Amino acid sequence: MALAKSNTKALIALAMGGFGIGLTEFVIMGILPDVASSLAISIPQAGHFIAAYALGVVVGAPLLTALGGKWPSHKVLWYLMVWFTVFNTLSAFAYDYYSLLLIRFMSGLPHGAFFGIGAVVAGKLAREGKAPQAIATMFGGLTVANVIGVPIGTYLGHHFDWSVSFLMVGFIGLLTLASIYLWMPHLPRSSEKGLGKDLQVFKRPELWALILLTTIGTGGFFAWYSYIAPLVTKVAGWPEYMVGYAMILAGLGMVVGNFLGAKMAEKLSPLRAVATSLTLMVTVLLINSWLAFNPYAVMAMTFIIGAVAFTVATPIQMAIINTSKGSESLGSSMNQSAFNMGNASGAYFAGLPIAYGFGVPAASLVGAAMAAFGVALAVALLVLRRQQGDRKKRLAYHG
């Protein structure tokens, strides 16, 4: 019983880290005009801070995970959160465009490594058969941040100063550091093989296929989410203040979908759960493009899309971990890089038809197409696995 309580507290510590990461990743979107005004730059220039953070995630996930492999996992998680806390706090004191651009890049570096190593640790802390629920608990911190943390951080940034939002992130970082120190049990090193052998995981074609699936398949969600503000105001006709409520609805959907996805991963195989989730995503995004001009339907679909989209989070993370046997932390962290590449690619591709005058609802169609690509890739991997299984059975039979 004592071990079970200890593990529960350790999962809460991981969820707190997820909350802080979700807060810093998404609050910048809500305070972007305030940051731009304070630093005397344009809003498009301020958007570079979002891209700099995402680039930090992509670079830092495999790099810091690989470098931290020789240290015990609980210590690596603690030091990653130290890095996170320091640079997010420094964001509040940035004095111009270039200083904040550099600090946001540095702030993003530990993001993917924390989630990647944390997902593997959560799976090991879980009771037998409950690894999906444990991983979902960690990701639950990120989803709750969208419901509670981001609205509060945005409000503080608007009504006091944008720097207060980042001081709030730093405070969450301090709480996470204390919780990891007090509640995380001592764990073995992240990698037993060493860096050289860990890198051999990148020779596995299935790993690259799953990374591509995450990048393009989950990019379907970001194709829709990146343009939620103009969808709510310019298409559905709601006033500006309703965008905040729409984002809270999306966040509530993410909370629900995160734990539904864990249940799906338990009932189905992780890859089958991914295929099911992305198929549902295709469906709801197509429906959303059709209902885009109905203000009440758009609000309902905002919750539904948020829920459906986040059913994929735990299953795809587990699929990556299962494919990276022996180098789970490194493979798991690469999935976080893929999520952020999905964020960038979804926003970019969905923006193309809008720029050519096809209207904001076209973003949902682009998202559906990207999710459909993910479905096709997941089905192809399932077929390939079945063929490989049949081949092994035939060889065993004839042998």
Does residue 111 carry a pLDDT above 80?
A: yes
pLDDT at 279: 96
> What would the two tokens of residue 312 be?
């994929």
Average of per-residue pLDDT across 86-114: 93
Q: What is the pLDDT of residue 3?
A: 42
- Contact of 298 with 237, CB cutoff 8 Å: no
Residue-wise pLDDT for 120-136, tens only, equals 888 888 877 778 888 88
The one-letter code for the residue type at 91 is: S
Higher pLDDT pick, 143 / 200: 143
Query: What 3-state DSSP class applies to 188?
Result: coil
Q: How far apart are CA 148 and CA 155, in angstroms?
A: 11
DSSP string, 321-376: HHHTTT-HHHHHHHHHHHHHHHHHHHHHHHHHHHHTTS-TTHHHHHHHHHHHHHHH
- What is the pLDDT confidence band of residue 261, given thresholds at 50, 70 and 90? very high
Place of tokens 């999710």: 371
Q: Which two structure tokens, joined as six digits, stand for 334?
A: 């690469």
pLDDT at 55: 86
What CATH fold (topology level) applies to the domain 1-190? Growth Hormone; Chain: A; (1.20.1250)
Helices H, strands E: what count in the chain? 19, 0
Does residue 170 register a pLDDT over 90? yes
Q: What is the mean pLDDT of residues 58-79?
A: 87
Section 322-348 average pLDDT: 83
Q: Looking at the chain, which residues constitute the CATH 1.20.1250.20 domain(s)?
A: 1-190, 192-399
Who wins on pLDDT, 44 or 119?
A: 119
Residue-wise pLDDT for 241-256, tens only, equals 888 888 889 889 999 9
Residue 398 has pLDDT above 80, yes or no: no
The predicted pLDDT at position 385 comes to 84
Distance of CA 345 to the CA centre of its chain: 14
Q: What percent of the chain has pLDDT over 70?
A: 93
At the fourth CATH level, which superfamily is domain 192-399? MFS general substrate transporter like domains (1.20.1250.20)
pLDDT digits (tens, 9 = 90+) for 344-386: 888 888 888 888 888 889 999 999 999 999 999 999 999 988 8
